[in-house]
Amino acid sequence: MLEILKRDGLARMCRFDTPHGPLETPCLLPVVNPRLATIPPRRLKELGFQALITNSYIIRNDARLRERALSEGLHRLLDYDGVIMTDSGTFQSHMYGEVEVRNPEIVAFQRDVGSDIGTVLDIFTEPDWGRERTAEAVRVTLERTAEAGGMKGGMMLAGVVQGSVFRDLRTECARDLSRLPVDVFPIGGVVPLMEGYRFADLVDVVVSSKMGLSPDRPVHLFGAGHPMVFSLAILLGCDMFDSASYAKFARDGRMMFPEGTYHLKDMRALECECPACREHTLESLLALPEERRAEVLALHNLHASRKEIERAKRALLEGTLWELVEQRCRAHPALLDALRALGRHKAFLERFEPLSREGAFFYTGPESLDRPAAFRYERRYFERYRKPAQTDLAVVLEEGDRPYSRFYAKEMSQMSEVARAHFVVMSPFGPVPADLDEVYPISQSVFPRIKDRDVQERTRELMERFSHAHEYGLSMLYEGQATLDMLSSLGDAQGGFDPDLARIRAVADYQFGRGAAEALFEGKVELTKSKNTDRIRNVAVDGEHILSMRAPDGFFTLRPGGARRLMRAFPAPALRVVVDQDSEPFNREGKNVFCQFVKACDPALVPMDEVLVVNEKDELLAIGRALLVAEEMLAIRKGLAVKVREGVRA
């Protein structure tokens, strides 16, 4: 069973239970050649590798290994008590043509030697195949997967997504696989893409596979073992990796780093302080016998790989994974293509994009503006935002420091004195009305002061869109005193509107959907503001505290009164997570919602959304924060779905 512990977008940290104990993902499974282990498996365990992968086809074809595996079991054979995954011989068919084994035999063999996770004999779909041949290979792979599912016994089964670079075939294959008794989803047929540095294709393949895969099982990227691609693959929701590269590169005298691979002969020093390198200098390493040198380099490559996965996990926890990926993808133009290809999938990625993150949005280059966080703002602004009814006049200002309404406080108050003007800042995220300037990622974003052309161009494009879409009777660019004079001449100073009320209305619609402001703020609205910062803290309506505004991300947290008002305006299942009656008393007491009790939910929920926990009669039980998207809450049967902040007693 899979449990999502932490996530950021598609990226996730999970606990995955196997017959040999739990695995924490994302993780790398070093490939162990059963005939020649560069690093003995026992040593891998000591180095912290909880799982490895080996090849059942090689074992089965070697009479001595086969007998020992069958009589003693795979774990004894390899002298390893961690999780052992086995591959089936498919990769050999990719390398050498036909293999002399059939699917039922190799699946039974993996099961009989006690593999924890055995793999179907899938058909390796080569990137140069035509569509028809690929579709046929996918069909046969699925047929073999169904066959393997019926005979897996106590072994977990890896069912491979094939389909080459045909995105629809990948998605269909993934959907069909999700309905089969498969426990791990490797994405296969990608080695030639990685070897050919076709990283944009790799992105398309992984995304189109993820689109069809049920989120309740781990995704393994077959043959991905270079630290260069880990953060990218993790960002796209891959949980497991395997690779023989650490050993192959080592035999070749090459050291792996997140920024690339270097040959010893080109190096002047080892440039690494890992436990393997620390015992050597470049000279002492070169003086070693070849075998020993390969071992040290293999250890280095493993350390470098593990370190990079740890680095990506930390970024995931901090909310800075996009920044890390953007840095890593600058290591090679082909990786930059991958980053650019990600931009094609922002609509899909946005479904998993959290409402906000702890980390700030750091701009690292033009591709940053294609992140789902930017796409989310743009979409919601144009779909959900409505200008305050009391004004018909927009003054458009150049970007300044954040939050914009602080930066322009003086100018805005001067203008407000003489006219009922509303203020909109031209930001690279799109038009930012003063009332939205504190929501994530607007005021949490950091851009270089010297703007590049892409930022200017995008700002211009979005303002162009604004000029066609806005509802103001009049809009003008702010030009200092001239604008002030012009506004004075309009003679429309009476009945200026309250910017605080405009802010709570704007944030409510942006966060919960159009119509939320109307539902929430009907009645006498009172605001409590922070004495130190003068920012809005609490909102009460008709004497009832219904919302609090969070300082870090500018969004609301709900109180029961606010929740009830929203429920009246938004019919079920909007904004809701519906739980089983067994869960009800616990949630009413303020206990969290676990996935296995979720019966239904709003398909549009995103992580970090405020949600209403209700029972099947649509009675409010609690309020909390969603940790998962709808399809995850419904598919995954373990772990937290909603972190409850407040229970509502009957």
The residues assigned a catalytic role are: 87
274 binds, among Zn ion, ligand GUN, none (CB under 5 to 8 A by kind): Zn ion
User: Quick one: which H or E segment has residue 104?
Assistant: helix 103-112
The nearest distance, CB 285 to Zn ion, in angstroms, is 10
Q: Quote the least distance from Cβ 281 to ligand GUN, whole Å.
A: 36
With contacts defined by CB under 6 A, name the span among 40-48, 87-95, 454-462, 569-577 that binds ligand GUN.
87-95
- What tokens were used for 428? 């690279």
Shortest Cβ distance from residue 123 to ligand GUN (Å)? 8
Question: Which position among 38, 56, 86, 90 is part of the footprint of ligand GUN (CB under 6 A)?
Answer: 90
Q: Among candidates 150, 177, 152, which has minimal Cα distance to 162? A: 177
- Rule CB under 6 A: choose which of 32, 77, 107, 191 binds ligand GUN: 191
Q: Do residues 337 and 367 make contact, with C-beta atoms less than 8 angstroms apart? A: no
Smallest Cα–Cα separation from 4: which of 192, 325, 318, 219?
219
Question: What is the token pair recorded at 248?
Answer: 């192959």
HSE-CB at 26 with a 13 A cutoff on CA atoms is 37
The item of Zn ion, ligand GUN, none sharing an interface with residue 26, based on CB under 5 to 8 Å by kind, is: none
| Residue placing its CB nearer to ligand GUN in the complex, 88 or 427 | 88
Measured from the CB atom, the residue of 279 and 589 that comes closer to Zn ion is 279
Q: How far is the CB of 122 from ligand GUN (least distance, A)?
A: 5
The two tokens of residue 237 are 């929701």
For ligand GUN, the nearest residue by Cβ is 188
Span 299-328, contacts to Zn ion by CB under 5 A: 300
Q: Which residues contact 514 (CB under 8 A, 6 or more apart)?
A: 383, 384, 386
Binding status of residue 188 toward ligand GUN by CB under 6 A:
yes
**Nearest CB to ligand GUN, comparing residues 189 and 624:** 189
3-state SS, residue 609 = coil
Report what 272 binds from Zn ion, ligand GUN, none; CB cut-off 5-8 Å by kind.
Zn ion
- Number of residues in contact with Zn ion under rule CB under 5 A: 4
E-strand spans in 160-313? Answer: 185-187, 219-221, 240-243, 254-257, 260-263
Phi, psi for 354 (deg, rounded to 5): -65, 155
- Residues 99 to 128 in contact with ligand GUN, rule: CB under 6 A: 119, 122, 124
300 binds, among ligand GUN, Zn ion, none (CB under 5 to 8 A by kind): Zn ion
Total residues in contact with ligand GUN, by rule CB under 6 A? 13
CA-to-CA separations, 575 to 298, 512, 540, 608, in angstroms, rounded: 51, 8, 21, 12
Q: Under a CB-based contact definition with an 8 Å cutoff, are residues 626 and 605 in contact?
A: yes
> Closer to ligand GUN at the Cβ: 191 or 627?
191
- For the CB of residue 257, give the shortest distance to Zn ion in the complex, in Å: 9
Which one of Zn ion, ligand GUN, none interacts with residue 555, CB within 5 to 8 A by kind?
none
Which of 84, 160, 296, 630 is the binder for ligand GUN (CB under 6 A)?
160
Beta carbon of residue 12, minimum distance to Zn ion (angstroms, whole number): 28
Q: How far is the CB of 235 from Zn ion (least distance, A)?
A: 25
User: Which long-range contacts does 584-587 make (Cβ < 8 Å, 24+ apart)?
Assistant: 584/615, 584/621, 587/613, 587/621, 587/622, 587/644, 587/647
Burial (CB count within 10 angstroms: exposed 0-12, middle 13-18, buried 19+), residue 112 = middle
- Taking CB under 6 A as the binding criterion, the range among 188-196, 464-472, 556-564, 579-587 that sits at the site for ligand GUN is 188-196
What mask of x and - would describe binding to Zn ion in positions 261 to 280, judged by CB under 5 A? -----------x-x--x---
Instruction: Give residue for tokens 């591709």.
Output: 367
Window of 186-194, 248-256, 318-326, 426-434 that interacts with ligand GUN by CB under 6 A: 186-194
Contacts of 191 (CB under 8 A, 6+ apart): 91, 94, 222, 223
- Residue 548: Cβ within 10 Å count: 17
440: how many CB neighbours lie within 10 A of its CB? 23
Q: Which stretch binds Zn ion (CB under 5 A): 54-62, 129-137, 292-300, 418-426?
A: 292-300
Instruction: State the nearest-atom distance from the C-beta of 93 to ligand GUN, in Å.
Output: 9
User: What string marks each residue from 206 to 235 as x (binds ligand GUN by CB under 6 A) or -?
Assistant: ----------------xx------------
Q: Which helix (H) or strand (E) holds 556?
A: strand 556-558
Number of H helices, E strands in the chain: 28, 29
Interaction partner, residue 277 (ligand GUN, Zn ion, none; CB < 5-8 Å by kind): Zn ion
| AA letter at 221 | L
Which among Zn ion, ligand GUN, none contacts residue 341 (Cβ within 5 to 8 A by kind)?
Answer: none
Whats the size of the chain, residue-wise? 650
CB of 169 to ligand GUN, least distance (A): 14
Q: Which stretches of the chain bind ligand GUN, using CB under 6 A?
A: 87-88, 90-91, 119, 122, 124, 160, 188-189, 191, 222-223
Q: Which stretches of the chain bind Zn ion, using CB under 5 A?
A: 272, 274, 277, 300
